[in-house]
Chains A and B, each alone.
Chain A
Amino acid sequence: MLAYPTVRTSLIFLAIAIGGLLVADIAITTANPWQDLGQFFLGVATPNFFSTEGLATALLRTVAFAFVGVTLGSVFGFLLSLAYRWLPVRLFCAFIRAIHELFWALIFLQFFGFHPLTGVLAIAIPYAGIFAKVYSEIFEEADPEPGRLLPPGTNRAVAFLYAKVPDCWVQLRTYTAYRLECGLRSSAILGFVGLPTLGFYLESSFSMGMYSDAGAMLILFYVLIATMPLWVRPKLLPVFILAAPFFLGEGMPIVWGNVERFFTEDIVPAPLREGEGLAGLLPWLGDVMANEALPGIWNTVVLTQIALVATGILSLLAFPLISRHFGGPVRRTSGHVLLVIARSTPEYILAYILLQLWGPSMLPAVVALALHNGGIIGHLIGRQSSTIHLRPDAPRGFVRYSWELVPRLYRPFLAFLFYRWEIIMRETAILGILGIYTLGFYVDSSIQELRFDRAMLLILITALLNIGVDTLGRYIRRRLALQTLPTC
């Protein structure tokens, strides 16, 4: 077994995660965690859809922000994808997508305030970076032959429209639709920093202990995502896109003085602002690094590695739930429902709920990340397992699982897992806003203390860390010759 590089890599990651568990802060600190959890489930079981009219508005705003943000992101992402071969464009895209939506929201909040533009840009900017990358990959994979056969002198735009776009169209559409679903999740969690989407109402219901209201919100959110194929229709799309900007709400007017001050004063490192010059900059940098950046990086990396392995274990356990090689239709349907719930709940919301119930430690974050990402990967490899044809006399039960299926699915499984590595790290950093000591915690506290210079530096460090992990993940995937699809 050890001769397989995939097995060796897995064991190394497992060892790192176990080492992480030894140093990580894993504990349940609330007095009655299971009672609280029980009350929460009772709330979900007895949802109250009519307590406030705020719920309908929140739902509408969530959809509106998602549509405007994803539309802008896909348009700019498309334009960027045309120039993606140019290195500065690639670096720019890698940078803007390495910063999480919530960090972008936190930045824009400081100078646009609670204006709709804050939420729209927070989604549109990172999404443009992601769209640019994936669109350009789709274009690159298209057959180059039709383009080569065009008569010389054909306009380049025309050549692109005829020889590239039609064959990529289905993939572009599928990916954009998938991103719209992600956009709904992003839009929902923007509420946690104060924008008028679902997260805002979820947080307020929770803090008042109104679990039935929170349950109603979660159920509506699942219904919204599960019914997307029904209401996101090609013919209705133009209507949604044109109407969405009118449903973002009024928010607060932008004070342009704030915008100017933010860029010319707030984000300038304190020693420079106060005229201490470069001599003061080094101690300042050292202070931020030693007290905020390094502890933040350490906790982010430890948590990411534990969550990555937990995600992997959970996906391997979960995929038989929907695989056609096990159980009957009843079990598969319930398996599908479980996995849909796990992957449609944003990890941020899961982590928020678990933190409320179990108290602050890394445990809720690990469980939330593993549930969400495990739901996604479990779904993907479960679906893939159903395309495998076993011989009629293949063994059953656990032997079928361990001898027939896992060996065949292990490579795609690792490919998905390493693809999501960077996504898990981005989320881990952001979960700090909830009070776990990852980078997001230090960013959030710097902002609370109005030290935007530190916050910006820490966001920059987070972005670089994400880019680093993304590069490492791609290197490992290449070394192990693992293929991935962009939609994951």
Chain B
Amino acid sequence: MPEIRFDGLTASFAGKQVVGPLSLHIRDGEHVALVGKSGAGKSTLIRLMYQHAEQQASLIPQDLGLVNALPVFHNVFMGQLHEHSLWYNTWTLLRPFKTDRKAIAALLGQLGMEEKQWTPAASLSGGQRQRVAIGRALYRQAPLLLADEPISALDGLLAHQVMEHLVEQFPTSVVALHDVDMALKYCDRIVGIKDGLVALDAPAAELTPADIMTLY
């Protein structure tokens, strides 16, 4: 896994400092939840980690980054474009191969949307779009997951299934979450961000929801 170690990191946007100075070290095998108010700097921190990891990570950004005109299949397949040759990828754009079709159908099945494989991303609902981005991240099979509110548009049961699946599939993960119970349940380390600084950093086992609420 690409190591993520920030020492005194700062980031500015339009002349205003939004993150840091901040020191954070993500260890191999950890599942870290980033919590905090919106605008605290979580999204910026996820972006910085992605850059720091030299893109050797599966990223689920908040705006998902789907190609709206392409069907779900191709949006997921984009996670592994680097694995194939130019002609293979170009051909897949026109007519996908059977092995890929099967693999992606199975993956979509786990996310509960197998029947949507050939629907263009533009005509999906918010929750379905979010699952396509999750599917792409899973298909990418990077050792590290960086996700920014990946389950915000999913309802109860599905949100739990997806979260469970994500921490199972990725050996290491950093997930920004606004749902405190989810964070405590699926992550083993909670990092609270307030005004661009680390305001809380503790194992999930030692925290209660009330401890986290102080950040808000």
Chain A contact residues, CB within 8 Å of chain B:
143, 145-146, 148-155, 157-159, 161-163, 166-167, 169-170
Q: Which of A145, A148, A149, A151 has the most CB of B within 10 A?
A: A149
Bound Cα distance from A97 to B35, whole angstroms: 54
Q: How far is the CB of A156 from chain B (nearest CB, A)?
A: 10
Q: How far is the CB of B60 from chain A (nearest CB, A)?
A: 9
Bound Cα distance from A117 to B88, whole angstroms: 38
Q: How far is the CB of B46 from chain A (nearest CB, A)?
A: 12
B70 touches A166 (CB 8 A): yes
5 shortest interchain CB distances as A-B pairs: A145-B65, A166-B69, A153-B82, A151-B82, A158-B89
- B79 touches A (CB below 8 Å): yes
A163 touches B67 (CB 8 A): yes
B67 touches A151 (CB 8 A): no
**Which residues of B from 38 to 75 have beta carbons under 8 Å from A?**
54-56, 59, 61, 63-70, 74
**Closest A residue, CB atoms, query B55:** A152
**Closest B residue, CB atoms, query A167:** B69
- B93 touches A (CB below 8 Å): yes
Can you show 30 pairs from A to B with CB atoms below 8 A apart? A143-B65, A145-B61, A145-B63, A146-B66, A146-B78, A148-B65, A149-B65, A149-B136, A150-B78, A150-B82, A151-B81, A152-B55, A152-B56, A154-B82, A155-B82, A155-B86, A157-B86, A158-B86, A158-B90, A161-B89, A161-B90, A161-B93, A162-B67, A162-B93, A163-B78, A166-B70, A167-B68, A167-B69, A169-B69, A170-B69
Partner of A162 from the list B55, B68, B74 (CB cut-off 8 Å) is B74
Q: How far is the CB of B66 from chain A (nearest CB, A)?
A: 7
Bound Cα distance from A146 to B54, whole angstroms: 16
Partner of A159 from the list B61, B70, B81 (CB cut-off 8 Å) is B81
Q: How far is the CB of B122 from chain A (nearest CB, A)?
A: 9
Bound Cα distance from A143 to B122, whole angstroms: 13
Query: Could you say which residues of chain B place their CB within 8 Å of the CB of A149?
Result: 59, 61, 65, 78, 136
Query: Could you say which residues of chain B place their CB within 8 Å of the CB of A153?
Result: 82
- B140 touches A (CB below 8 Å): yes
Interface size band for B:
20 to 34
Q: How far is the CB of B159 from chain A (nearest CB, A)?
A: 22
What total of A-B pairs shows CB separation below 8 Å?
64
Bound Cα distance from A76 to B99, whole angstroms: 37
- B152 touches A (CB below 8 Å): no
Query: Could you say which residues of chain A place their CB within 8 Å of the CB of B81?
Result: 150-151, 154-155, 158-159, 162
**Closest A residue, CB atoms, query B59:** A149
Query: Could you say which residues of chain B place their CB within 8 Å of the CB of A157?
Result: 86
- B17 touches A (CB below 8 Å): no
Query: Could you say which residues of chain A place their CB within 8 Å of the CB of B86?
Result: 155, 157-158
Q: Which of A152, A157, A167 has the most CB of B within 10 A?
A: A167
- B161 touches A (CB below 8 Å): no
Bound Cα distance from A150 to B63, whole angstroms: 15
Bound Cα distance from A103 to B67, whole angstroms: 42
- B80 touches A (CB below 8 Å): yes
Query: Could you say which residues of chain B place their CB within 8 Å of the CB of A167?
Result: 67-69
What mask results when residues 147 to 183 of chain B are scored 1 for a CB within 8 Å of chain A, else 0? 0000000000000000000000000000000000000
Q: How far is the CB of A31 from chain B (nearest CB, A)?
A: 61
Q: How far is the CB of B153 from chain A (nearest CB, A)?
A: 17
**Closest A residue, CB atoms, query B133:** A149
B90 touches A146 (CB 8 A): no
Query: Could you say which residues of chain A place their CB within 8 Å of the CB of B82?
Result: 150-155
Q: A162-B81, A162-B93, A163-B78 are in contact. List 16 more A-B contacts (CB 8 A).
A: A143-B65, A145-B61, A146-B66, A146-B67, A149-B78, A150-B81, A150-B82, A151-B79, A151-B82, A151-B142, A155-B86, A161-B89, A162-B78, A163-B67, A166-B67, A166-B68
Query: Could you say which residues of chain A place their CB within 8 Å of the CB of B59?
Result: 149
Q: How far is the CB of B95 from chain A (nearest CB, A)?
A: 14
Bound Cα distance from A166 to B89, whole angstroms: 14
B140 touches A151 (CB 8 A): yes
**Closest B residue, CB atoms, query A170:** B69
Query: Could you say which residues of chain A place their CB within 8 Å of the CB of B66?
Result: 146
Bound Cα distance from A148 to B61, whole angstroms: 11
A151 touches B63 (CB 8 A): no
B89 touches A162 (CB 8 A): yes
Bound Cα distance from A151 to B55, whole angstroms: 7
**Closest A residue, CB atoms, query B81:** A154
**Closest B residue, CB atoms, query A147:** B65
Bound Cα distance from A145 to B50, whole angstroms: 13
Q: How far is the CB of A57 from chain B (nearest CB, A)?
A: 39
Bound Cα distance from A479 to B70, whole angstroms: 38
Query: Could you say which residues of chain B place their CB within 8 Å of the CB of A150?
Result: 78, 81-82
Bound Cα distance from A10 to B127, whole angstroms: 49
Q: How far is the CB of A161 from chain B (nearest CB, A)?
A: 6
Query: Could you say which residues of chain A place their CB within 8 Å of the CB of B79?
Result: 151
**Which residues of B from 11 to 57 have beta carbons under 8 Å from A?**
54-56
Bound Cα distance from A155 to B92, whole angstroms: 14
Bound Cα distance from A466 to B64, whole angstroms: 43
Q: Which of A152, A155, A170 has the most CB of B within 10 A?
A: A155
Bound Cα distance from A166 to B120, whole angstroms: 11
Bound Cα distance from A196 to B168, whole angstroms: 71
Query: Could you say which residues of chain B place their CB within 8 Å of the CB of A162?
Result: 67, 70, 74, 78, 81, 89, 93
